[in-house]
Amino acid sequence: MKAVGKASGLGAAVTVVLIGFNLRPALSSIGPVLDEIMQGLQVSAGAASVLTTAPVLCLGLFGPFAPLLARRFGIEATILLALAIVALGTALRGAGSLAPLLGGSLLAGAGIAIGNVLMPALLKRDFPTRLPLMTGVLSMALCVGAAIAAGVTAPLRVAFGGDWAAALASWAVPVLLAMAVAGLVWRHRLGRDAAGGPARLRRVGGLWRQPLAWQVTLFMGLQSALAYSMFGWLAPILRSRGDDAVTAGLVVSVSILAQTLASLPTPLLAARLRRQSLPAVALMLLSTGSFLALLAAPLAWQWLLAISLGIGMGGAFALALLLIVQRAGDDHAAAALSGMAQSVGYSLAAGGPLVVGVLYDAMGNWSGAGVLFGVVGLGGAVAGALAGRPRVVHAR
């Protein structure tokens, strides 16, 4: 909605923060209690890895449905539907058995995919003069939600008497809070546009034949592949080099915190430039170089490298969101471009951690993964350099 007065603008901004915060805990809360899940359900490491990979794959598989639903029901109603799906999937994980745990994770991933795609379109429509700021706010909320869920889920398990299922299901509560606030703020706009007519997205065609759309898509996908490889494998890499489990986990947490700190200023600074190519290349090279250094540099450097890795990855993700809204001519094109970029992008991201594991099993060391990280990082830098040029996709 276009803000009418300060209160309305504040309500819209708070809604963006709450929704963004709740689009990551379902993904980042599994890892901290994965050992307890494996022990409690008597599943292998391979089966347990499905719990972390499948929801990310859902981000790619279900993203294309978001524009279709928004054309039928409107952006606000579709986002509320997505949050309801996330809440249901998150709550299902509290059943404490494998089938509802996996099914709930898949449901949550599907809801997150729809929300991911539509939030850039919402920003493009509601904050046309404050896009860099609100893009930074959204990306920061996403990072904060991931970081808090990663850090708080294990203590929640302890607070619930060792019940990992209750700890996972508890993340449905803030989703319900976000739904209540969004419904209140949007109560006069659900299904309606500013002129009083139906608030429907129009069908957009021709994007999949646009080179610029593919450049934005590849930048989103390759930086996501690097990020999810880090989420899944940085701690095992550090443990194989001599860190204990607690230290390796703290290094990952520091890196996630650095992502949070980098996500807000990056769009604000990048938007001041006519071209975003230089920051895109610099952030991808910083991420890649830091990740490669963590494979081989002395462990005494790991804290500094974790910070630089987080700055690079957090900034690259925020910039990817900014490029989606900047390269789209309006909110209709933004939804379509977001759907394309995130469906393809998160499909690539889901494959990254799996390929890292296959390479490690085949070679017995991290050299193959290092080559993969280098190729992904350089590819992302090239895509970012092209996507950063001041152009707009030509969509019908």
**Structure confidence at residue 389 (pLDDT):** 92
Q: In this structure, are 225 and 124 located in the same domain?
A: no
Residue ranges of alpha helices (H) inside the chain are: 5-21, 25-28, 34-41, 45-62, 65-73, 75-92, 98-126, 131-159, 164-169, 172-185, 211-240, 245-263, 265-270, 277-296, 302-327, 331-363, 367-387
Q: How many CB atoms lie within 10 A of CB 295?
A: 18
**Structure confidence at residue 396 (pLDDT):** 65
**Structure confidence at residue 204 (pLDDT):** 63
Q: In this structure, are 194 and 220 located in the same domain?
A: no
Would you state the structure tokens that stand for residue 386, as one six-digit string?
Answer: 């092209």
**Structure confidence at residue 196 (pLDDT):** 43
Q: In this structure, are 82 and 69 located in the same domain?
A: yes
| Bridge partners, residue 320, by sequence | none
Q: In this structure, are 316 and 367 located in the same domain?
A: yes
Residue 218's domain is classified under what CATH number?
Answer: 1.20.1250.20
* pTM, to two decimals: 0.81
Q: Quote the number of domains for the chain.
A: 2
Look at residues 201, 235, 265 and tell me which one is the last residue of a structural domain. 201
- Residue 289's domain comprises 204-396
Q: Which amino acid is at 324?
A: I
**Structure confidence at residue 6 (pLDDT):** 40
Q: In this structure, are 272 and 288 located in the same domain?
A: yes
**Structure confidence at residue 331 (pLDDT):** 67
Q: In this structure, are 71 and 190 located in the same domain?
A: yes
Q: In this structure, are 7 and 124 located in the same domain?
A: yes
Per-10-residue mean pLDDT of the chain, 396 residues long, equals: 50 93 89 81 73 82 88 90 97 92 94 92 87 89 86 87 93 96 86 47 69 93 87 79 78 84 89 92 96 92 94 93 83 79 83 79 86 94 94 74
Look at residues 201, 218, 236 and tell me which one is the last residue of a structural domain. 201
Q: Taken in order 119, 124, 126, 127, is the CA torsion positive or negative? A: positive
**Structure confidence at residue 193 (pLDDT):** 47
